[in-house]
Structure 1
Amino acid sequence: MGKSSLRVQIARRLQTENTACAIVDITGIGTAQITPVHWYANFTATLPNSFKIKMNLRTWWRDREHLSPVVRLNEFIEQVLLPSSDRDIVIFIDEIDSILSLNFSSDDFFAMLRRCYNKRAENPEYNRLSFALFGVATPQNFISDKTQTPFYIGRAIELKGFDFAEAILLAQGWAKK
């Protein structure tokens, strides 16, 4: 489908425009037999490395063990990530559909992403933060609890496979190489 190629091209272009980018591959975090605490800790752990933030994340995470994992991730974004730079920040989340196979609800994660978007109205720092979700799912798939506000932010972009005529053109181009 070209999702990963698209993600790489967009990240490169944004970085040339002085935007800080990170890529979180959900399949690298794991989905089978993982606890919510470990999943959120692993997700959060990818961010300091990507954004070159010098810190002891293990200590930071443990100091907040009285908080739920989603609140810890939210605090990391607000208290560590946003203050670490004055640049725009984009977090690419690849293989987002893998999150749907977690053995716990991912509703809180998507609600947290929505809260980050909604916080733009009260905290202008959040205007610098964007998330780009890549995978084989639609926004309607992301929050299954019908009592929560749906995941209505953003816009789905549907990529389609090549039709036969497009595939022939590509094959002709490869034959010349």
Structure 2
Amino acid sequence: MAINPRGMFWLNLACFQLAWFLSVSKQNDALLWVGALLVVQLVFSPSKLRDLSLLLSIGLLGIALDLVLTQASVFIFSPIQSPWWLALLWFHFALALNYSLGWLSRIPLPLAMLVSAIAGPFSYAMGYRLDAVEFGLPLLQTLLILSLCWALSILVFLKVRSTITQLQ
């Protein structure tokens, strides 16, 4: 039951924004809804295999990055509740990189790095302001680390996206 790419763009944009809001405001209490939003996108995807490949590869890379940042005490999460919501957000980001954020693959890489160095940390800063994440370092230091991580990570994410897209 696939929809056309334009329809998928809008579906993805809505699902990604809703998933972000639900995840940051409700955290693990929203897992069912955030997971359902992923399933909806995969059901309507015009390219299910490609999207599933992107979801797993980029999603797992993003989760690994957050694990490293958590182990380095850049992020602090409650020891009694793992941030599963953040893992699901990475899967949503992976799909967004193919649809609503697909334009990042069509601009010069230095510009994509700059956009990511600003937008990525901004998202975490909003999560911080909404008490979804605690920073283990001063705010400015954390944001600078996140800017560097996002500027470099987007290169990897876009390369993975390009490789998977070419293989499909």
TM-score, scaled relative to structure 1: 0.28
Higher helix share: 2
Q: Which has the higher strand share?
A: 1
State the structure with more CA Rg: 1
TM-score (norm 2): 0.29
